[in-house]
Each structure stands twice: as C-alpha cells, then as structure tokens.
Amino acid sequence: MFHYVDRSTRTQEPYVLLLQGPVGPFFRDLQEELNAHGFRTKRVTFNAGDERFSAGQMTQPFSGSLDNWAQFFDAEMRQNLPDFVVMFGVMRPAHHIARQITATYGVRVICLEEGYLRSGYVTCEIGGNNDSSPLCQWAPGQDCAGDYPAPVTPPNAYLKMCFWAALYYMRRDFRATWYQQSLFHRKREGVFSLAYTWASHAVVRGIARHTSGPLLRRLRGKLRKNFVLVILQVPSDSQLLYAARGWSNEKLVQETLSAFRHTHTSETLVFKLHPLDRQARQTQRLIKRTARDLGIESQVHILKSGAIGDIAAHASGMIVINSTSAFSALRHNIPILAMGDAIYRHDAVVTVGNSPYDIWEFLNDRSVKPADNVAMFLRAVKATALLPGDFYCITGRHVAAAAIADKLKQELQQTSRPIPAAIRSGAA
C-alpha cells in the first residue's frame, strides 16, 4: 500500500527524522548542523547509549517491542511526515522496519555507513547501502566523470571508534530494559563481560602489531605476488548475517583450504583476521587445525595486523565474502573473487563466485578485469555514494555533517517543493 502525500504546498522547514547513528556523538553533530542549515529535526533514541550522545530537547525516546516500534513509526509518518529519514546501518531491526514503512509513504531514506573507500570518506546513499545500494544496479558504460571531493584523513580514527564504542555499549548494556533488547543490533553481553572482552582484545591487538612484523616483511619481499589474500570479517556484521549468500568465516576458511589442497600451485594462502573480531582466536585455531589436517600447514599463514591497502598491493589475488577490503584490491589491480552480495559484485569488476568450485578455479587461474571497467566503477562509487569526513574524530565529524546537510539541500532542489530562504542560504 502506498500513501500519496502532496508536499508541494507545505511551507514549514523541511523535516529530518534521525534514527540510530554510529557510536559516539556524530548524530548529535549532524543534528546541530542540519538545524544550522535551516532544517527542522528530531531524533529517536532507543537506549541509554543513544541518549548519552543525543541533543536533549530535540530527541524523542522510544522503549518498546518491534511491533510497538512499527506502530510508533507509522504514526510518526502519518502525523509529521518527514522529508528525509536518516539512519546508520540499514539492517538494524528498527531500521529494517523503518525502511519498509517509509517506502509506503514515498519518504527518502538517507543511509549512512562506514566509507566504502577508507579512510577519509563516509558512505551516504539514498535508499540503502551494501547489498541494497543503488550501485548494485551499476553496469559498464554508466560513467560519472568529473571532480570528486578529496578525502579528509583524521588521525587515529580507529582508536577513536574503539573509545566511543566502549562508552556506548557499556552505557547501553548497563541501563538496558527487556523491551530495549529486542531492538539491539548487537546482543547484550553485560557490562563486566563487555569490559573484559574489549580489554583482552585490546591487549591481543597490541601484541599482534608486534608479532605480525616478520610476516608483513615476507609478504612485501620473498612472498610478493606469490600469495592469495583471504579476507575474514566480523561475525556479527550485518553483511555476513544478511548478504553473504550462506557464507561465513568458518565456511570460507574450510572451503578455501580444501580447494587449495587440491591445487598444484606453489603460492601461499594468507588469512587476514579482522581487527574488530573478538572471536579471532577461535578462527585462528580453526585455520591452523584444518591446514594441519590437510597437510598444507607450511603454505598457510595468518595475518593478525597490518594495513589492508599495503598488504593487498603485494598479493596475487584476493578472496572475500563481501568485505570493503575488496576496494583496496581494486585500486591495486588485483584479481578478486567475491562470494557474497556487495556493491562490487559485477562480472565486469570482479570474479563472481557461488560455490567451492569457484574458489578452486580462482586459485588455479585468475585474471584482472579490464582497467577501464574498474576505473569507471570506482568513479561511480565516489560520485554517488561517498562524502568526505569521518564519524569519530572531531574534525572529520564536522566535515561529514556539513557534507550530508549539503546533500540533503541538493535533494530538495530536485523536488517540486519550494525551498525556504534559510535552506538556500545555509543559515538558520
């Protein structure tokens, strides 16, 4: 059912409804930036973590079940129809429901995510990200030549993200109600358990940065262009849960090692653990045990740390489910096998995989896709999906917030609705 609403006669300031944002104060910054540009805003908070980083009087708390949320959100659409709904992470329970309801009212959804190209960019798309991105419909010939904004590279973005995440999740879990837990996109672990796992993971990551040095030097030297890089992801990532075509880290490890066992290549397999995967030690044990059982332990390595762009530049190929790490390989003209759904799952850009046989075939024989197609696709990503900035460092947050506000202004200009002078001038 579609609800038609005529916006052409509305005279109030354009209304933006914000749902959940990234951990930390970015949505508070964004709300303030939108208000400064003449938008009318409101943010819905779902738990104590959201409330900690909200703008106070411009927020509306929600506490209820998923069914209650659907009713609440539909009422908001009917009573205060927004021009835009902004969210981070399209597959969070509350966001999945909101996207379904906004579609019936013709409301534009602004979907934010970590930048497809990192660092210095954020992802900002209309309608969806990742497997629901408009870029999934891209085809060779759809070029977007022109000038693109330069990335803003903030210092220590990863450490800042970890800091905000620790504050957010500890506050959320400490004060969570039973109803709120039904809307969690990451399960509740308990404050002490969460503090322990984050602290122990930080120690493991610190050690990994030192112990990975010898392998990194070998990958840049003796093993250069003689190893295939296998990218592992965070198990709780929505990309693995909803867009992996049945693949998981465990399945990718087992099927890749099995396929490698039946090749006659002299190359090496290098599994890259994700820096935020707190189950990395279990995955590491699985890799070692499986490789040992198959008799290929000497040809298999595990990389626990290192910049993915630097590592990918020296690889002879990359196997991914749907990780954004594939963009590092694309920029270095490295062959890619993509097993899951992703915006780059196009035959013109990567090798599209479905079965374990495709892994075996890729390990035996692979080639780079035409450079013109890859360059054309990367231009489309920059032109339609990326904005400069960062969600976690203060300078990057302000740049990203201003860029998103400008994008919304441009979207208004493409509609028939009159734009108030405050919006045109960018002043409150």
Q: How does pLDDT run across 339-382, given as a tens digit for each residue?
A: 999 999 999 999 999 999 999 999 999 999 999 999 999 999 99
Domain boundaries, the chain: 15-158+385-422
Q: What's residue 37's pLDDT?
A: 94
CATH of 15-158+385-422, one of 3.20.20, 2.60.40, 3.40.50, 3.10.450: 3.40.50
Q: Which residues of the chain have pLDDT under 70?
A: 1-11, 178-181, 185-211, 416-428
Q: What's residue 198's pLDDT?
A: 60
The reported pTM is 0.86
243-272 pLDDT, tens per residue? Answer: 999 999 999 999 999 999 999 888 999 999
Q: What's residue 275's pLDDT?
A: 81
- CA 138/CA 331 separation, integer angstroms: 18
Q: What's residue 427's pLDDT?
A: 46
Q: What's residue 352's pLDDT?
A: 97
